[in-house]
Amino acid sequence: MSSPRLPFLEKTATTTTGTKMTHNADSIHVKELQLPHGLVAPDVWGKPKEQPATITLTVSLKGDGFSTAADKDQLDQSTIHYGELSKRVRALNLPAQDVERFVDEAQTCVQAMASKAEGKFIVRRAVLRVTLPKASMYGEGVVWTRVCEYDDAGKVTRRMGEYGVDEVKIMTLVGVNAYERQAEQPLLIGVNLTRWVQSEGEAGWPKMEEMAGLETKVVEIIKPTTFETLETLADHTAKLLQEGFLATRFPQGCILRLTISKPRAIPFADAPAVEVMRNNHENLRGCVNRDSGPTIGIRDLNVVKPYA
């Protein structure tokens, strides 16, 4: 599934000459693992229904990572066997299983495989991303992501949930040129909603059934507009989403990232795009890296506009 999301990378310190310093990070990935059964989630009509799904797992290791396995050229206690991880996760998938329950069990599986001999726990962060390609009416699919961060004993210290819809195609009247005012043109919309939970007393993530109306709400907002610029459209859409959809589902706040691409604007480019990030998360600390989402904390428009 394509996405306008930019590749936020693991942070690695460098010197002025470009030489890497001592901050290293090793990760294990299993990408788009097919599940033997569907998962129950809202379909395009908002009704719970079993549907095809894939899961992508990213396991980031503590300390020196899998250095001893690399030195010996064999699997050892410093790494996660990705083949065994894939088999165990697939075995957890049962008929009529909902997304949240499956992700909970997959996260427990990762946690168990990260526990090694003598009480050693080798994982610092696990990212589990479920993709539901048939759950979107106008886009490329719905994505549900869970991130867990662990201490040295393997206890979860922080959790994150993210719900997103990718490349939602909407026809609308937009553009500054006279010829663009004559007919509607397609826009591709990406929306991601993120919430971190750092203590047991905090409000968690809304059920997927409560999020099923997000795509419809985005279409309702954007379809009737006639703005000239993507900048105004993005800001307008973010405000109405916050007021009319997110406020009731995230009373303690969330991070909204909205991307609008205009694929017909530049003949020799895939698309110009604008992106806005709005953070009213009441307790977010620092920034979020590639394992768990975008760098945040800025309320300004982030504009990608090659036609300027």
CATH of domain 22-154: 3.30.1130.10
Q: Residue 2: is its pLDDT beyond 80? A: no
Cβ-based burial of 150 (10 A; exposed 0-12, middle 13-18, buried ≥19)? buried
Contact 74, 93 (CB under 8 A): no
Q: Give 10 or 240, the one with higher predicted confidence.
A: 240
pLDDT in tens, 176-235: 999 999 999 999 999 999 998 876 656 667 888 889 899 999 999 999 999 999 999 999
Helix (H, G, I), strand (E, B) or coil at 296: coil
CATH fit for domain 164-285, picks 2.60.15.10, 3.40.50.720, 3.30.1130.10, 3.20.20.140: 3.30.1130.10
pLDDT of residue 308: 39
Q: What is the full DSSP assignment across 12-39?
A: --B-TTS-B-S----EEEEEEEEPSS-E
Residue 255 is encoded by which pair of tokens?
Answer: 């991070």
Enumerate the domain spans of the chain.
22-154, 164-285
- CA distance to 95, 152, 172, 223, 235, per residue, from 227 (Å): 46, 52, 9, 11, 11
Q: Residue 80: is its pLDDT beyond 90? A: yes
pTM: 0.82
Task: Provide mean pLDDT across the span 169-177.
Answer: 97
Residue 219: its H or E element: helix 214-222
Task: Provide mean pLDDT across the span 13-22.
Answer: 48
Which among 140, 130, 133 has a CA at the least distance from the CA of 259? 140
Q: Give 242 or 22, the one with higher predicted confidence.
A: 242
* Residues 56, 102, 50: CA angle, nearest 5 degrees: 95
Query: What whole-number distance in Å separates Cα of residue 158 and Cα of residue 164?
Result: 20
Query: What whole-number distance in Å separates Cα of residue 242 and Cα of residue 234?
Result: 12
What amino acid is encoded at 8 in this protein?
F
